[in-house]
Chains A and B, each alone.
Chain A
Amino acid sequence: MKLSFEGVFFTYSTGVRALDGIDLSIGSGEFVAIVGENGAGKTTLVKLLNGLLRPDGGKVVVGNWDTAEYSTAQLAGRVGFLFQNPDEQLFERAVQREVAFGPRNLGFSERKIASKSMSALKTVGLADHAEDNPYDLAPFERKLLALAATLAMDTPVLVLDEPSIGQDAAGRRRIGRILRELHTMGSTILLISHDLDFCAEYAERAVVMANGHILADGLVEKIFAQNDLLQRAAVFPPQLVRLAQALKMPTAPLKVDQFVNAYSQWHRRKKRA
């Protein structure tokens, strides 16, 4: 599903201008990482997508819907949202009921609720905990449960705010794989993360934000290779990019296998020279 922001402004009641003229369009099925330091405007931007915030100026469009004409509850059927802190949304006594909450709000049939909930729990690896109390789960499992609760809503657009926080390497990989699979099935994904190594591994396009502006927008390979740009946005470049730069390699690989290829070419060329 296509998304677009056209000349969007937003100022909080405290007087903080969080978005200062944003133009951004995201094609259906794109996987976009939004990076920048806290306060750059990332979360404000994505909250406009489901009407949690309404722009002071400009237009936000989700698919063929102008968000100004739809309620948050309606937009929730199109834009799924994973918040940072799962404890600020979990309330049911059983994991399965927690996952069913969103689909039920969206008016799915009982059969669809059951099947979507179960498959979401399987996807995140919590199927064995369906009857457990969410508060008996470990914090990292609660995060996965919140993810399942979002996935079960079966939305064409998915917004994730720091999904990899508090996860170990295996958990990060699991979440990354889930996102990659959703991406191949055609979901539009917006990933907010400070973890550029994670973004580099999975996202295709990167939007860099600072002070309510978009500093840069383009393919992850291009954007993440620009050390100065990332430093201006107060985020760390991915490890391999920093390494390639330290070695003065001509390219900036993002993944280990890319690095190995780039290194072997560079190595050969250097030997010849």
Chain B
Amino acid sequence: MIRIKDFCYWYPGQDQPALDGIDLEIPEGQFCGVVGPNGAGKSTLCYALSGFAPHFFHGTWEGELQVGKRDVPRSTLGELAGEIGLVFQNSFNQISGARFTVREEIAFGLENLGLKRKEIERRVEETLALIDLEALAERSPFALSGGQQQRVAIASILAMQPKLLVLDEPTSQLDPRGTQEVFKILDKLAGRGGTTVVLVEHKLEWLAAFADRVITFSQGRIVLDGSAKKILADEKLLKLGVGQTQFTQAAAAVQKKKFIPRSRPLPVTLKQAQKFFE
């Protein structure tokens, strides 16, 4: 699905590449988490996957980056829109502003794709149901809470039926209720399968709950890559400035005191931790 070979990217006027020789393959339908300290290149990866680097930010690049059959850096944003969806932090800025209700907001991208009205209506209804937005369909997208707005942003992208959904810290500006709302949706998507998802997220506990795989960035490179359970339990995350869930840290500390055998793998979620300690 995603094939990246030796991909480098430099923002305009920068000597240091923001992405430095990325090799990555993500099979179709995989839910892939991305972690790393601030400034490690996580957002740039999102921009590269969706074509904004280089098409929006300019700058220079080399290597290969393919999503499906699409050669991303050699395609235009117009071609990529709808095939690769990007959702980012600020929910307010993702509301188009040109539509007056949630229903019409979700339709906006489909209108730009030039779909027939019947098809637009069908997809909008389907998406409203999937993202639990039916009750809000006639509300103004500006009159919503952050979590609801972010769900509208996700719905607006999903309605376009992208092959790949890229989310760059979608919950970092939300309160716990909003965070939970958004993660519930992501959990649903992960469970449903079919959509390939790349999610950048600092909240490791949540990531552990539904990512199949986690890759770790540091200084523009991928430094760790593996199953979510293995990577999030890796002690190296502490040194990298990514941190670990307190479940993992507590388990490691207890293991050091020899209450629990070393052979038992460290937990990353509450459920795993419960099993670990019992």
Contact = CB atoms under 8 A, between A and B. Distances in A.
Determine whether A and B are in direct contact in the complex, meaning some CB atoms lie less than 8 angstroms apart: yes
Interface of A: 37-38, 138, 140, 165-172, 194, 197, 234-236, 238-240, 242-243, 246-247, 256-257, 259-260, 263-264, 267
B205 A239 contact: yes
Contacts of B108: none
Interface residues of B, number: 36
B177 interface: yes
B277 A170 contact: no
Contacts of B38: 138, 140, 166-168, 171
Given A167-B38, A194-B175, A243 B274 contact: yes
A263 B252 CA distance: 13
21 contacts: A38-B145, A38-B146, A166-B38, A166-B89, A167-B38, A168-B241, A169-B242, A172-B243, A194-B175, A194-B176, A234-B175, A234-B177, A235-B176, A236-B176, A243-B273, A243-B274, A246-B273, A256-B246, A256-B250, A257-B253, A260-B257
A260 B37 contact: no
Nearest to B271: A246
B241 A240 contact: no
Interface string B146-177: 10000000000000000000000100110111
Nearest to B274: A246
Given A38-B145, A235-B176, 8 more contacts: A166-B172, A169-B242, A240-B247, A243-B247, A243-B270, A243-B274, A247-B278, A264-B254
Most A-side CB within 10 Å, residue of B37, B175, B179, B180: B175
A260 B270 contact: no
| Chain A at the B interface: SS class | helix
Contacts of B36: 168
A248 B223 CA distance: 38
A246 B270 contact: yes
B245 interface: yes
A263 B259 contact: yes
Nearest to A236: B176
B202 interface: yes
Contacts of B259: 263-264, 267
A170 B36 CA distance: 11
Interface in B237-262: 238, 241-243, 245-247, 249-250, 253-254, 257, 259
Interface string B111-130: 00000000000000000000
B39 interface: yes
Interface in B35-91: 36-39, 89
Contacts of B249: 256
Contact of B270 (A37, A167, A170, A239): A239
Q: Which 3 A-B pairs have the closest CB atoms?
A: A169-B243, A170-B241, A239-B246
Contact of B39 (A138, A194, A239, A264): A138
Contacts of B274: 243, 246-247
Contact of B241 (A169, A235, A267): A169
A122 B277 CA distance: 42
Nearest to B244: A169
Most A-side CB within 10 Å, residue of B176, B178, B274, B278: B176
